[in-house]
A and B are shown apart, each in its own frame.
Chain A
Amino acid sequence: MSLRILTASALLAGSVALPALAQDKPDLVIAVDNLWPTMDPVIGISTTGARVHSNIFDTLVRRNRWEDPDGTELVPWLAESWKQLSPTVWEFTLRDGVPFHDGHIMDAEDVAFSLSAERLWGEEPLAPRGTRYTRGFTRVEATGPLTIEVETSFPDPNLPFRMVTPIGFVLPKHYYEEVGTEAFGQMPMGTGPYRMTSFDPSVGVEAVAFEDYWAGEPPAASLSFEIVPEFSTRFAGLVAGEYDVVVSVPADQVDALDGTPGVTVMEKGIENYPMFAFNMLETEALPDNPLTDVNLRKAMVAGVDREAITAAIWGDATFVPTPFNFPEYGPYYDADRERAVPYDPEAAAAYLEASDYAGEELIWHITRGFYPNYEIAAEFMVEQWADLGINVKIELKDNFSLAYQRPFHLLNMSMSSEFSGDPYRPLWMDWGPQSSRFRAAHKTWDMTEDFVALGEKFEQTLEFEARKQAYLDLVAEWEDVTPGMYMWRNVVSYAISDDLDWDPGNSAVTIFDHLYVGGGDG
């Protein structure tokens, strides 16, 4: 095993010309809390992995966050253009002359491999965690030196959006096949702005500027990610000048640390929404579940002042979303749309009055420390429910598999909006027939017939105006059932040295190329 990694490193080192001497370019060091143990960008789908991947690899399509923090615009990247050949077939034309870190020029074979059934979506694929993004794939084929076709079982007007996700990263087929999946994960190679020189999953990543980078000269001579598990230590390293960026400022320390000379703290909303699901099912563990009563659910949603709680603990770093009305959806986003069940203590009392609830204790399973500030907000909410006469008890669990063990009435979770052009994923994938909410052992609801009918209609409607209306109808049904409650848009935070001009936009993905460093004027 280690021999193969050595081979991989040797191949890389031997085949790449030594980089030209960097002239006054900084060595950037990013202190992170952790790194995913493999750098394969699909097997390693994770927040910790995403901080590295885009610096080593490029996707076919990219989002423009250097000009628009929410990045609603698609930018051709390794794919120069794309077009729909038929309702189910899309063709991507690749950029010519893009070198991998070993000098090998990227072609359609590499892209076809990266998107292949063998790697992503067949039986027992090499990187099984990509199936979420390859829904409906039936064919991926290199149709020319620089063209590939992707065919799906159903018409997908938004297929190019999928190429900004981790499946859009292009891997060098020749190198991958030579070293194998595991060794590739330990010494990956892409076309990105930095070439990895060492990776130790419990120490960090070291990479140097890839001088032949096709998109523009990397702004730093080298880029390292060092694992520093303890935030205070990361922060000390930042203050002492050892690190340029440190991640994950604890939410309660943001204000205090922002005042430190030479340091700026940034809070960024990201495309993930912490929430809880109501367990609407009667099971063996929970035979008389009062939450089967929609009036109780609505009473609970109407009974908490989410705006006040969110403002109290987050300041203006985030906001409370109207269900599925997320700013990253561009034309689907409507800043004026209001929630069907807003905060209204009187309405809450009326809903409660109409319910059969008789003061039973409701158990809320929360995974300890997983979502920033979640426990604090939960305590506020429990207080407000108590004022109303609803008795909720928080039970903290050490991990998700424990939190999933019944009985529970409320279950913590978060939903990622996933940039797919429209709210298909959070609405239909996360609540519909294929969702964990409906199918997993820890399922929390049975879909109503209306929800299924409206969902199928939304899925099949492709034309924008009609699709938007189908989306609104489906949301209305969801709010009518109220199977859960969204709390706020998740926030990530960075503390960075004042010497570094860098802004990742509203994202947990960190990229240190010429577009993001130095004000995006590269």
Chain B
Amino acid sequence: MIGYILSRLIRAVATLLITVTLVFLFIRFSGDPAAALVPPDAPQEVIDQYARAMGLDQPIWVQYTGYVGGLLQGDFGFSIHTGLAVEEVFLARLPHTLELGLTALAMAIAIGIPVGAIAAIRRGSALDRFVMAFSVFAFAMPNFLFGLLMILIAALVFGTFLGGDSASVLWPALTLGLAAMGSFARFTRSSVLETINAPYMRAAEARGVPFRLRLIRHAAPNAAIPLVTLIGLSLGALVAGSVVTEQVFAWPGVGQLLVRSVATRDLAQVQFLVLVVAFTMVLANLLVDFLYLLIDPRIRAS
């Protein structure tokens, strides 16, 4: 078990280091950040001056060691536009993104999982078919399109505006969580179907355990094991989706910050954000791995 934890931790650290390095290289090779700071027709002297100020005239390995050295000391760098520490800029947006992401996740879980479970229990019914059709729609609908349609219909038909930071979080959260909701519903359905037909379910029935208890005590924990993985993985989709959703709804979160930082080649900011996203993903994966330890005694043993 210690081996299990240790190997997961080493993998997590390696993932972060690789991410940092790749982002560092990609962002420098995909266009001159100094040139992006000035208008396209700016004179070369101005571009050079910015490059000097940003340390971009140094050899790349000097920049890299400087950057990684800074990271180790908790110095993530400064935004070239505002001069603010990148983590401050990030922390200012974080509450918005957390509000959006957690609401979306909560909606996806609160709607997707019960709906999938009911579909499994009522397998083959009209309700089941409806849920399956809905989940395919939810999964296949690009959240960009869904969000825009909602906004436009609300504005043109009902005269209300669903975007901006004064609007309710429910609409962007629904947009963001829709795909996860669909995949949770489908996955829950198949997972529950698998467990309710498992031998131990028949055995419990033979022991006289009533239906409701069989479902709650026997089917649910077993069906939940693969769902934990799915929820962990869906965090990645949520982070990616938040970039689009925040754009569409003008939601002032981290996703929007990332988009504008990439567009303006705000090196330190982009690096920090990607690091945070990678860290979130790694953390989510670690959490899933460790949650397994809690809910699945078979892994605990090995």
Residues of A within 8 A of B (CB): 1-2, 31, 34, 36-38, 45-46, 124, 128-129, 131-132, 181-182, 185-186, 200-204, 226-230, 232-237, 239-242, 367, 370, 398-402, 404, 413-416, 430, 434, 436, 439-441
A1 in contact with B85 (CB, 8 Å): yes
Among candidates A182, A234, A240, A402, residue contacting B160 with C-beta atoms closer than 8 Å: A240
Say yes or no: B155 contacts A237, CB within 8 Å. yes
Q: How far is the CB of B227 from chain A (nearest CB, A)?
A: 33
Alpha-carbon separation in the docked complex, A239 to B161 (Å): 8
Q: Are B164 and A242 in contact (CB under 8 A)?
A: yes
| Contact in complex: B164, A237 (CB < 8 Å) | yes
- Which residues in B have their C-beta under 8 angstroms from that of A235? 152, 155
Q: A227-B252, A237-B164 are in contact. List 13 more A-B contacts (CB 8 A).
A: A37-B266, A38-B81, A128-B46, A129-B38, A182-B82, A229-B250, A234-B250, A235-B155, A239-B159, A240-B159, A370-B40, A399-B35, A416-B41
B31 contacts chain A at the CB level, 8 A cutoff: yes
The 4 closest A-B pairs by CB, nearest first: A37-B81, A236-B155, A182-B83, A240-B161
Interfacial chain B residues near A240, Cβ < 8 Å: 154-155, 159-161
The residue of chain A having its C-beta at the shortest distance from the C-beta of B84 within the complex is A1
Could you give 9 example pairs across A and B, Cβ below 8 Å?
A185-B82, A202-B252, A233-B148, A237-B164, A240-B161, A242-B163, A398-B30, A413-B41, A415-B41
B88 x A228 contact (CB < 8 A): no
- Given A182-B83, A202-B257, A230-B250, verify A239-B49 contact (CB < 8 Å): no
Q: Which residues of B contact A31 (CB under 8 A)?
A: 250
- A2 x B43 contact (CB < 8 A): no
Kindly supply a per-residue 1/0 record for chain B positions 170-203, scoring 1 wherever the CB is within 8 Å of any chain A CB and 0 otherwise.
Answer: 0000000000000000000000000000000000
Flag if B36 contacts A1 (CB, 8 Å): no
A236 touches B38 (CB 8 A): no
Q: How far is the CA of A129 from the CA of B53 in the complex (A)?
A: 13
A128 adjacent to B49 (CB under 8 Å)? yes
Q: How far is the CA of A370 from the CA of B36 in the complex (A)?
A: 13
Across the interface, do B259 and A203 meet the contact criterion of CB distance under 8 Å? Answer: no
Distance of A131 Cα from B44 Cα, bound (Å): 12
Task: Known contacts A129-B46, A182-B82; decide if A430 and B160 are in contact (CB<8 Å).
Answer: no
Docked-complex contact A2 and B260, CB < 8 angstroms = no
Q: Which residue in A226, A402, A440 is a CB contact (below 8 Å) of B164?
A: A226
Q: Give the residue name and chain of the B residue nearest to A261 (CB).
A: B156
Among residues 207 to 264 in chain B, which have CB atoms less than 8 Å away from a CB atom of chain A? 247-250, 252, 256-257, 259-260, 264
Taking CB atoms and an 8 Å cut-off, the chain B residues in 127-153 that contact chain A are 148, 151-152
A residues in contact with B84, CB < 8 Å: 1-2, 182, 186
Q: Which residues of A contact B160 (CB under 8 A)?
A: 240
CB-CB < 8 A to B92: which residues of A?
200
Which chain A residues border B31 with CB–CB below 8 Å?
398-402
A201 with B82: CB separation less than 8 A: yes
Binary contact track B261-284/A, C-beta < 8 Å → 1, others 0: 000101000000000000000000
Query: Would B44 and A201 count as touching, CB distance under 8 A?
Result: no
- Name the CB-closest residue of A to B80: A37
Instruction: Give the residues in chain B near A131, CB-CB below 8 Å.
Output: 43, 45-46
Known: A240-B161, A401-B36. A34 touches B260 (CB 8 A): yes
Query: Is B81 within 8 A of A242, CB to CB?
Result: no
B293 CB to closest chain A CB, in angstroms? 39
Instruction: Pick from B40, B81, B152, B252: contact of A200, CB below 8 A.
Output: B252
Q: Which residues of chain A are near B49, meaning CB under 8 Å?
A: 124, 128
Q: Judge whether A203 and B252 touch: CB under 8 Å.
A: yes
- Report yes or no: B82 in contact with A38, Cβ–Cβ below 8 A: yes
Is B79 engaged at the interface, CB distance under 8 Å to the other chain? Answer: yes
Q: Which residues of A contact B8 (CB under 8 A)?
A: none
Whether B296 is near chain A, meaning CB under 8 Å from some CB there, is: no
CB of B268 to closest CB in A, whole Å: 13
Q: In angstroms, how far is the closest chain B Cβ from the Cβ of A59?
A: 19
Q: Within 8 Å CB of B39, what residues of A? A: 45-46
Nearest-Cβ distance from residue B127 to partner chain A, whole angstroms: 34
Instruction: Determine if A1 and B83 form an interchain contact, defined as CB atoms under 8 angstroms apart.
Output: yes
> In the bound complex, do residue A436 and residue B41 qualify as a contact, i.e. CB atoms below 8 Å apart?
yes
Q: Of all chain B residues, which has the CB nearest A262?
A: B159
B88 near A436 (CB under 8 angstroms)?
A: no
Which A residues touch B165, using CB under 8 A?
203
State whether A233 touches B88 (Cβ < 8 A): no
Give A129 to B49 CA distance when docked, in angstroms: 10
Q: Which residues on A sit within 8 Å (CB–CB) of B256?
A: 202, 227, 229
Partner of B250, one of A128, A227, A441: A227
Is B32 part of the binding interface, using a Cβ–Cβ cutoff of 8 Å? yes
* CA–CA, A201 and B36, complex, Å: 17
> Given the complex, which residues of B lie within 8 Å of A430, measured CB to CB?
41
Contacts of A203 in B (CB 8 A): 165, 252
The answer to whether A237 and B85 touch (CB under 8 A), given A203-B252, A413-B41, A415-B41, is no
Chain B nearest CB: distance from A279 CB in Å? 16
Question: Which A residues lie within 8 Å of B83 (CB)?
Answer: 1, 181-182, 185
Q: A440 to B40, alpha carbons, bound, how many Å?
A: 11
Interface-central residue, B50, B154, B155, by most chain A CB under 10 Å: B155
Chain B residue nearest in CB terms to A415: B41
A132 contacts across to B, CB distance below 8 A = 42-43
Taking a contact as CB atoms closer than 8 A, the residue among B38, B45, B79, B93 that contacts A37 in the complex is B79
Cβ contacts under 8 Å, B259 to chain A: 229
- Nearest CB on B from A204, distance (A): 8
